[in-house]
Amino acid sequence: MPERLLVIGGDAAGMSAASQARRRRGPADLEIVAIERGHFASYSACGIPYWIGGLVPERDALIARTPDTFRAEHDVDVRLRHEVFAIDLGRREVSIRDLDTGAQTREWFDQLVYAAGATPRKPPWARTDTAGIFGVQTLDDASALRAWLDAEPRPRQAVVVGGGYIGVEMAEAMIQRGLSVTLVEHGDQPLSTVDPDMGALVRDAMRDLGIDLRTGCAVTGLHERDGRVHAVQTSEGTLPADLVVLGVGVRPNTRLAADAGLPIGVTGGIRVDLQMRVLGMDRIWAAGDCVETVHRLTGQPVHVPLGTHANKQGRVAGLNIGGGYATFPGVVGTAVTRVCNLEVARTGLLEREAEAAGYQFVSTKIESTNRAGYFPGAQPMTVKLIADKRSGQLLGAQIVGRSEAAKRIDALAVALWNYMTVDDMAGLDLGYAPPYAPVWDPVLIAARKAVDLIHAD
Amino acid sequence: MPERLLVIGGDAAGMSAASQARRRRGPADLEIVAIERGHFASYSACGIPYWIGGLVPERDALIARTPDTFRAEHDVDVRLRHEVFAIDLGRREVSIRDLDTGAQTREWFDQLVYAAGATPRKPPWARTDTAGIFGVQTLDDASALRAWLDAEPRPRQAVVVGGGYIGVEMAEAMIQRGLSVTLVEHGDQPLSTVDPDMGALVRDAMRDLGIDLRTGCAVTGLHERDGRVHAVQTSEGTLPADLVVLGVGVRPNTRLAADAGLPIGVTGGIRVDLQMRVLGMDRIWAAGDCVETVHRLTGQPVHVPLGTHANKQGRVAGLNIGGGYATFPGVVGTAVTRVCNLEVARTGLLEREAEAAGYQFVSTKIESTNRAGYFPGAQPMTVKLIADKRSGQLLGAQIVGRSEAAKRIDALAVALWNYMTVDDMAGLDLGYAPPYAPVWDPVLIAARKAVDLIHAD
């Protein structure tokens, strides 16, 4: 009789684990069952804002593989609209509810992958039945939002709450659909995932696009009419709204895991070892937005719910379940996004994060261009570097540009991953040709300037 | 009395050295004289094909700083159209000829920067006075070529000899100017700076653009008429030609240096230490296309005449002359170019280079896209990796794509610089967002596949 792998959660992490395990162990050796609460498995959650905004025309374009594909090609039994509501580690069983019929069943397992993802945070005022309030974590969330946009009466005034990646991307998507959009952020800047000076560039771009940006503004309540949202009450007055998008972050979805006794870390995520095995547990694995990982520069546990990590972690878990050996080495805080035709990228630590981690640092910011200044299509680019004051070790980098800027962060992420100093970096052999860079790449110009600062005294 | 720095060669390396030295030492402390044979100083030689092709409309756009700027802002005495024809290290003097008047003078120096660049190789058949044959190493060369293109009778049939970066870029430039173009390459493929399988992609793109590509074909002679080139004789017959562009490489311009007793290495370039001091010489420096450097992966001396190295080496020499401390750490073979709307990039070693260096390796090639597959504007991209068979250390990488591809080589160059293994690389925290990458960046997909190969046995 084959061993049985049960996967809780059918998105990036869970399905990566399933397919990697299958690659190494055939159906006669390993049965795989994946339980997914929603209507979809294995899709690009990061693509949701582009479908909502209309840039990606079809929802199904976001779906990487359907349950039918998993069944036919990978022999993975994917059960959509089923929810695990209890895990019994002693008996190695889960209890499952069919969300359409209400029927309950139990399934045994030898190995378990917990990949339940994350849940959008709901402020107290959003815990209501009022229609027209949406998180955008899952494709089900997005489908509901899209239906609201397309139904009569058509919403015309959107309020987006929270100025993180999702909030900013969704604000732009609403503008693209012709709504008037207000973004309410209780902090001082949009995109607090970059330093305030870089965030100021984002702020300008958002305003140019016509987004009404209210920073330092808190939402305190909702007004409804006939069960539908009608306005948002803020610390600065009332904003009319027939659509509210929540972008105030997510929390790891660990209720079931915690109930079953899986260890939860200080970030709220499940604790795992390097192989993505739940810490101290036998053949119980976890991956994706529900786990915490380590930041390689601070040594601290962090919760970084990004699709790229979910995919890697799922692959690592699956490879190990399959009898291989792989590890997930932690993160360095790389993230890129497109905001209103700006490319925004970061890696490593922001100034406030470097300070909180106990570093003393210098930071420098330079302006250059993506191509040789004389080459057609040259666009401005700003690069900021943060380096340890004594050793010159690169601690963080941020880039804002208009074209061919965001992915330049990768070279910096690799430099930082390898604990390079800015002195070392100034000598790096990066690609140069006029269509792709000035003779001194902006990254090198920034490194040179950081070197000057480090050795200034 | 101030010390005197004399710089031979007024392009990237020489003028970088001059301005860095000036940044740290004022005119009262250091006098700087730069002697340049041509009509221009401090320009982008790499931009020449784009000016010839018309993409960059003005020649002067390629000039970073004029001699007047150097004089006024940096207090550097730049003498154009002057040629150093002898160096006397014992008396610390150079002999200089004014190329316009023929007048000869001597200048003393305390410190010397030798930055005489490289000279296009001339096959025996090209050593002739026949008009219409051009190298494209300097802006003077390019100006002469451009004048030939614009003069009556207008050339209509160009033969480009040599399929390296310059040859391929110039062939494209000639097409853009409406000429019919044949590129003759005696080897098996154009752009032998990438492996043959990647070069095949370049071959297709060149043919699509209308370049008549003849590989495995040798030029054996010229036919002239009234002192002008009329045809090119090849091993495969006669090609009509009223313009011949030489792209068969360059050699370090070291005649003067060798005559003066500076050490010349096995590559033909001047030998320097890490600070760009000529090996064993007191206050004699060299930088740019005339020096050899070390390849960090093979440990072998190499001659890599690229503007990016010239700038860095010049800066390092100037910084040290200025009393600072900097080193040039060698190269890893990174280069990018645009060929007929293909972006072509490489770093590290090709297969034949890895073999010659004594490595045993695996190589893998993957097809992916620059953006998420569903995102508008997604374009195909091919990534090839070469890794040490035993350790998995990355040895080389090549990328060919249509958009947002070339600069992805930088992350690989940094990985290789740090001796990362493909196992390490598969876990790298690179930037992901649908407008910029699939959820598995092509670089990571290639690393994963290389991991599979390394651990296959």
Strand partners, A382: A367, A400
One domain for residues B341 and B255: no
Domains: count for chain B: 3
What whole-number distance in Å separates Cα of residue A30 and Cα of residue A40? 23
State the average pLDDT for chain B.
Answer: 96
As a whole number of Å, the end-to-end CA separation of chain A is 71
Query: pLDDT tens-digit profile of A410-452?
Result: 999 999 999 999 999 999 999 999 999 999 999 999 999 999 9
Tokens read off for A402: 């208009």
A350 and A447 together in one domain: yes
In this structure, which amino acid lies at residue B257?
A
Q: Note which residues in 229-288 of chain B have CB less than 8 A from chain A.
A: none
* Strand-pair category, B380-388 with B394-401: antiparallel
- Give the β-pairing of A342-348 and A361-369: unpaired
Determine the Cα angle at A369 with ends B309 and A456, to 5°.
65
Task: Using DSSP bridges, classify how beta strands A380-388 and A394-401 pair: parallel, antiparallel or unpaired.
Answer: antiparallel
Contact, B168 vs B249, CB < 8 A? Answer: no
In a domain, B326, yes or no: no
**Which chain A residues contact residue B305 at CB under 8 A?**
none
Q: Is residue A385 part of a domain?
A: yes
Residue B456: the pLDDT is 81
B60 and B96 together in one domain: yes
First to last CA, chain B: 71
pLDDT for residue A213 is more than 80 = yes
Region A270-290: mean pLDDT is 97
Residue B228 reports pLDDT greater than 70: yes
The CATH code of the domain that includes A95 is 3.50.50.60
Asked whether residue A60 falls in the same domain as residue A166, the answer is no
> Is residue A429 a part of any domain in this protein?
yes
**pLDDT confidence of A219, banded at 50, 70, 90?**
very high
Do A184 and A128 reside in the same domain of the chain? yes
Asked if the structure places residue A327 within a domain, the reply is no
For residue A217, the enclosing domain spans 122-248
How far, rounded to the nearest angstrom, does the alpha carbon of residue B332 sit from its chain's CA centroid? Answer: 14
Last residue of a domain, one of A248, A269, A288: A248
| Contact (CB<8Å) B335/A61 | no
Backbone angles phi, psi at B281, to 5 degrees: -110, 145
CA-nearest residue of chain A to B420?
A418
Mean pLDDT of A44-55: 95
Sole residue written with tokens 């029927």: A103
The confidence score (pLDDT) of residue A457 equals 58
Instruction: For this complex, say whether ipTM is above 0.85.
Output: yes
* b/e map A392-413, b = 16+ CB within 10 Å: bbbbbbbbbbbbbbbbbbbbbb
Residue B86 lies in a domain: yes
- Which amino acid appears at position B410 of this protein? D
By C-alpha distance, the chain B residue nearest A417 is: B428
Same domain, B186 and B38: no
Distance, in angstroms, between A336 CA and closest chain B CA?
5
Q: Which residues of B are tagged catalytic?
A: 46
B448 in the same domain as B361: yes
Q: Does B170 touch chain A (CB under 8 A)?
A: no
How big is the A-B interface in CB pairs under 8 Å? 196
Looking at residue B395, its amino acid is L
Domain-located, residue A374: yes
Same domain, yes or no, for B288 and B376?
no
Q: Identify whether A328 is part of a domain.
A: no
Distance CA A78, CA A83 (A): 12
Domain-ending residue, one of A248, A278, A303:
A248
> Chain B within 8 Å of A65 (Cβ-Cβ)?
no
Q: Do B419 and B348 sit in the same domain of this protein?
A: yes
Residue A397 has pLDDT above 90, yes or no: yes
* Mean pLDDT to the nearest integer, B374-394: 97
Residues 99-138 of B with CB under 8 A from A: none
Mean pLDDT in residue range A114-140 = 94
Residues 11-50 on B with a CB inside 8 Å of A are 12, 44, 46-47, 50
Percent of chain A with pLDDT strictly greater than 90: 97
B218 close to B124: Cβ distance less than 8 angstroms: no
Domain end marker among A294, A321, A348: A321
Confirm or reject contact between B409 and chain A (CB < 8 A): yes
How many other C-beta atoms are found inside a 10 Å radius of the C-beta of residue B358?
A: 8
Considering only the beta carbons, identify the residue of B315, B332, B439 that sits closest to A44. Answer: B439
DSSP letter for each residue of A57-111: --GGGGBSS-HHHHHHHH-EEEETTEEEEEEETTTTEEEEEETTT--EEEEE-SE
Rounded to two decimals, the pTM is 0.96
Domain assignment present for residue A279? The answer is yes
Chain B residue numbers touching A312 (CB-CB < 8 A): 426-427
Q: pLDDT tens-digit profile of B116-155?
A: 999 989 999 999 899 999 999 999 999 999 999 999 999 9
Q: 10 Å Cβ neighbour count for B377? A: 12
Q: Which amino acid is at A145?
A: L
Residues A50, A113, single domain; the answer is yes
Under 8 Å CB-to-CB from B348, ≥6 apart: which residues? B297, B332, B333, B334, B386, B394, B395, B396, B397, B412, B413, B416
Written as one string, the DSSP assignment of B291-348 is B-EEBTTT--EE----HHHHHHHHHHHHHHHTT-------B---EEEEETTEEEEEEE
The pLDDT of A91-117, averaged and rounded, is 98
Q: How far is A190 from chain B (nearest CA, A)?
A: 18
**Confidence check: pLDDT of B457 > 70:** no
CA–CA min distance A185, chain B (Å): 22
Nearest CA-CA distance, residue B329 and chain A, Å: 6
Distance (Å, rounded) from C-alpha B37 to C-alpha A154? Answer: 72
Domain shared by B243 and B257, yes or no:
no
Q: Are residues A12 and A74 in the same domain?
A: yes
Nearest-by-CA chain A residue for B418: A418
CA distances from B235 to A119, B159, B192, B218 (A): 71, 14, 20, 5
**pLDDT tens readout for residues B87-96:** 999 999 999 9
Does the beta carbon of A89 lie under 8 angstroms from any beta carbon of chain B? no
Nearest to B333 by CA among B369, B366, B308, B365: B308
Query: Is residue A249 packed enough to be buried (19+ CB in 10 Å), middle (13-18) or exposed (0-12)?
Result: middle
Residue in chain B nearest A319 by alpha carbon: B452
Residue B396, SS3 per DSSP: strand
